[in-house]
C-alpha cells in the first residue's frame, strides 16, 4: 500500500462530493460538497482542496451501467476528470468504478436516521467516502493503484 492521503470525488449534475483518506490509507472521511452547476467555480474549489490536502492522487468515481458499459454520465465524469487532471498536474487523477455507491450511501444515511431532505448534500460526500474506501481496499488487496489513470494531454 502506497503511503499518502487521497481525495475522492463523486461527480454529479448538481454537486460534487469530496472525501479524504488518512495518510496511511486506512479510513476515508467526508470533506465537503462542492456546488457543481458553475463548472469554473467548482474547478477552482477542487484545485484549492488539492492544494490544501496535498494528496498522493485524486480518485474520481466513474459511473458505469450494471453490465460495465459507459453512458452519457460516464462521458461527463471523464470530461470533468480530465479538466481536474490538467489543473492539478502533476498530481495524478484516477477513474474508479463507482457502481451503486450513491445507492449504498443513501441507504446507509437513511438507516442512520438522516432525512432525505437534510441528507441531499451529504449523500454526495458519503458516496465519495464509499468510492474512496473501495479504491483503498482494491489497492490493499491487489497491491496496485486502483482504476485507470487520466492522461494529461499538454
In sequence order, the 6+-apart residues with CB closer than 8 A to the CB of 59 are: 6, 7, 8, 9, 93, 94, 96, 131, 132, 135, 146, 147
pLDDT at site 27: 95
In CATH terms, the fold of domain 6-149 is Nucleotidyltransferase; domain 5 (3.30.420)
Q: Is 66 helix (H, G, I), strand (E, B) or coil?
A: coil
CA-closest candidate to residue 77, choices 107, 36, 105:
36
| Cell of residue 130, nine digits | 464509499
Q: pLDDT tens digits, residue range 102-112?
A: 556 566 666 66
* 88, 97 Cβ separation under 8 angstroms: no
Q: Is 16 helix (H, G, I), strand (E, B) or coil?
A: strand
pLDDT at site 36: 92
Domain ranges of the chain: 6-149
Average the pLDDT over 3-25 and give the result.
96
DSSP state string for 18-46: EEEE-TTS--EEEEEEEE-SSHHHHHHHH
Judged by average pLDDT, the poorest of 15-19, 65-69, 85-89, 125-129 is: 65-69
Entry pTM: 0.88
pLDDT at site 104: 63
Average the pLDDT over 41-65 and give the result.
96
Question: Residue 38: pLDDT band by 50, 70, 90 thresholds?
Answer: very high
pLDDT at site 6: 98
pLDDT at site 68: 76
Q: pLDDT tens digits, residue range 121-137?
A: 688 898 999 999 999 99
**Which one has a higher pLDDT value, 71 or 68?**
71
Question: Residue 119: pLDDT band by 50, 70, 90 thresholds?
Answer: low
- Beta strands (DSSP E) in the chain are 6-11, 15-21, 28-35, 57-62, 93-97, 148-149
Amino acid at each position: 500500500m502506497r503511503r499518502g492521503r487521497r481525495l475522492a470525488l463523486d461527480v454529479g449534475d448538481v454537486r460534487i462530493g469530496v472525501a479524504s483518506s488518512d495518510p496511511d490509507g486506512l479510513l476515508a472521511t467526508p470533506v465537503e460538497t462542492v456546488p457543481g452547476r458553475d463548472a469554473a467555480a467548482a474547478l477552482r474549489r477542487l484545485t484549492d482542496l488539492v492544494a490544501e490536502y496535498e494528496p498522493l492522487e485524486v480518485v474520481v468515481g466513474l459511473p458505469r451501467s450494471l453490465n460495465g458499459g459507459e453512458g452519457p454520465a460516464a462521458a461527463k465524469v471523464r470530461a470533468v476528470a480530465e479538466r481536474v487532471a490538467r489543473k492539478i498536474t502533476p498530481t495524478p487523477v484516477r477513474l474508479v468504478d463507482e457502481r451503486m455507491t450513491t445507492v449504498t450511501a443513501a441507504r446507509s444515511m437513511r438507516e442512520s436516521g438522516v432525512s432525505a431532505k437534510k441528507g441531499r448534500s451529504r449523500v454526495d460526500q458519503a458516496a465519495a467516502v464509499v468510492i474512496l474506501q473501495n479504491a483503498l481496499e482494491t489497492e490493499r488487496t491487489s497491491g496496485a493503484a486502483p482504476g485507470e489513470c487520466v492522461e494529461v494531454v499538454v
